[in-house]
Amino acid sequence: MEHLIEVAFKGNRREFFRWSFEAPPPVKAAIIVDVERGEDLGRVHATGELAERRKAGTTHGKAQREPLRPALRLATGDDIARAATLRAEEETARRVAVQKARALNLQMKVSDAEWQWDRRRLTFYFTAEERVDFRTLVRQLESHFGVRVQMWHIGPRDEAKRLDGIGHCGRQLCSASWLPELLPVKTSLAKEQRLSTITPTQISGACGRLMCCLRYEHEFYVAARKRFPKQGKLVQTLNGEEKVEHTDIFRDLVTLRSPSGELRTIPLAQFKRELSGEAMPVEEELHESEEDIAEEGGARVVTEPARGPVVQMQRAATAAPPRELPPREPLTREPPPREPSPRQGPHRDQRPPHREQRPGPAGAAAAPPPEPTASAPTAPAPQDAPRVERPIVPDADAGAQATGEGAERRGRRRRGRRGGRRHRHEQPPGTQGNSGNGGGPSGPPSTPTSHPNR
């Protein structure tokens, strides 16, 4: 009865063979197999159904042609010691190949060498960016070692698989431990997993290429994001219309942004309830489950977390004593008198009030206004005191003067600013010598006079 077995060689190189004995060999057992031009020693990697599944899903299993080569026998102690001696001599053979490649000025990197167990073949593995003509190098190596020499051009991923190592995650490289096939990885896979592509070294493996986990983990990210809303989508929640800003598929959290720019992060379960219009208690956000299960003596004890009423802590407002302000004294300072401009005439504040410019009978004398005293401040009148009207004594000259000024003011308003400038030398009817040149209301009439020197 034949059994399908998978045998691993140095550098994680694997091939499939047929085992013609009744019982399959144990896993990791050393066996001697038949290879091209001789025999080689390897260790059993998989048998039975696992070997059948790996042969159908791995690259080296699909590439192997039928019928498969047979596995001869289990290895003895002398076979294992002979293989260990060859492993120690392989580093010396690799250094010889590196020196001869440099002497020939070949742009190649010899990364590993492998002796066949029966010493009939020596294989070198190298990497190069461009095609290399290594025929001269092969002839020199065959004459040096006296065996058949093979040169295999491999890529950076295959080199990392052969040399093995530790990845960013702290574990053995996936390509060297379990990954059945090395497939190309695109940058779009990193973008779909929300990884930054600005610094490629953060998403690159030991080989300098994009990490293999970006490809075989892509299906997990696609399946996990189906439970979450799309980023940038507008949703209607209990707080109104909000925008999905970010989603965390590992912690099941959704970050929402309101139209005012405020961010809030809620669990996915609460987000789905808000979409359906149901409010979620605050306690359920803090506890992932409503019951905590504890195993004590084989019995299942269900304990509920102690929950008290939710108390909102608010800072009490301290009542400050009323602040007494001093009584505000009225301002008794009078503004300084403004000198009249030669163009505009007397200021409005220096003119007599309009209430006292009422015309009266001719010949009446006007009472002089009281002169303010600067030595003693005037006391403010109480608010409840009645207002005393001052008696107005009509005066003919004052009435004529008020009438002339009122007519001039009304004429100036009708003409406007430009009209006032254009007609500032014109005299309103009924007045003499009251122009806008700064003359007083009772000044002499402005008659043209001739100068003796002119």
3-state secondary structure the chain: CCEEEEEECHHHCEEEEEECCCCCCCCCCEEEEEECCEEEEEEEEEEHHHHHHHHHHCHHHHHCCCCCCEEEEECCHHHHHHHHHHHHHHHHHHHHHHHHHHHCCCCCEEEEEEECCCCCEEEEEEECCCCCCCHHHHHHHHHHHCCEEEEEECCHHHHHHHHCCECCCCCECHHHHCCCCCCCCCHHHHHHCCCCCCCHHHHECCCCCECCHHHHCHHHHHHHHCCCCCCCCEEEECCEEEEEEEEECCCCEEEEECCCCCEEEEEHHHHHHHHCCCCCCCHHHHCCCCCEEEEECCEEEEECCCCCCCCCCCCCCCCCCCCCCCCCCCCCCCCCCCCCECCCECCHHHCCCHHHCCCCCCCCCCCCCCCCCCCCCCCCCCCCCCCCCCCCCCCHHHHHHHHHHHHHHHHHHHHHHHHHHHCCCCCCCCCCCCCCCCCCCCCCCCCCCCCCCC
Q: Indicate the length of the chain as a whole number.
A: 454
Q: Report percent pLDDT > 90 for the chain.
A: 43
Burial (CB count within 10 angstroms: exposed 0-12, middle 13-18, buried 19+), residue 174: middle
- What distance in Å separates the CA atoms of residue 132 and residue 149, rounded to the nearest whole number? 16
Mean pLDDT confidence for 185-191: 90
Name the CA radius of gyration of the chain, rounded: 54
Strand-pairing partners, residue 345, are 341
The residues near 216 (Cβ < 8 Å, ≥ 6 apart) are 174, 179
Q: 12 phi and psi, to 5 degrees?
A: 60, 30
Domains, the chain, in order of start with CATH, read: 1-75 (no CATH), 163-224 (no CATH), 228-282 (2.30.30)
Position 66 pLDDT exceeds 90: no
Task: Cis check for the bond before 67: say yes or no (omega within 30 of 0).
Answer: yes
Instruction: Classify residue 306 as left (phi > 0), alpha (psi -120 to 50) or beta.
Output: beta
- pTM to 2 decimal places: 0.55
Return the higher-pLDDT residue of 406 and 391: 406
User: What value does the mean pLDDT take over residues 130-153?
Assistant: 94
Tell me what percent of the residues of the chain surpass a pLDDT of 70.
61
Q: Which residue has the tokens 């060297």?
A: 176
Both tokens of residue 234? 């507008």
Position 171 pLDDT exceeds 50: yes
Residue type, 77: G
Using N-to-C axis directions, what is the helix angle for 135-145 and 77-103, rounded to 10°?
130
Mean per-residue pLDDT for 101-129? 95
Which range (27-36, 78-87, 330-339) has the least confidence?
Answer: 330-339
In this predicted structure, what is the pLDDT of residue 434?
44
- The per-residue pLDDT of the chain, averaged, comes to 75
- Where is pLDDT greater, at 204 or 332? 204
Q: 141-155, 173-187, 367-381: which has the minimum mean pLDDT?
A: 367-381
Q: Are strands 148-153 and 121-127 parallel, antiparallel or unpaired?
A: parallel
Kindly tell me if the per-residue pLDDT of 389 is higher than 80.
Answer: no
Nearest 5 degrees, angle CA 6-CA 12-CA 15?
30
- Residue 176, class by beta-carbon neighbours within 10 Å (0-12 exposed, 13-18 middle, 19+ buried)? middle
CA distances (Å), 281 to each of 292, 294, 310, 396, 398, in order? 18, 25, 11, 91, 87
Is 44 in contact with 29 (CB distance < 8 Å)? yes
pLDDT tens-place string over residues 395-442 = 545 444 545 566 666 666 655 555 545 545 555 554 444 444 444 444
Query: Rounded to whole angstroms, how far apart are CA atoms 176 and 162?
Result: 7
More confident residue, 329 or 171: 171
Q: How many whole angstroms separate alpha carbon 429 and alpha carbon 246?
A: 85
Mean pLDDT, range 33-61, rounded to an integer: 92
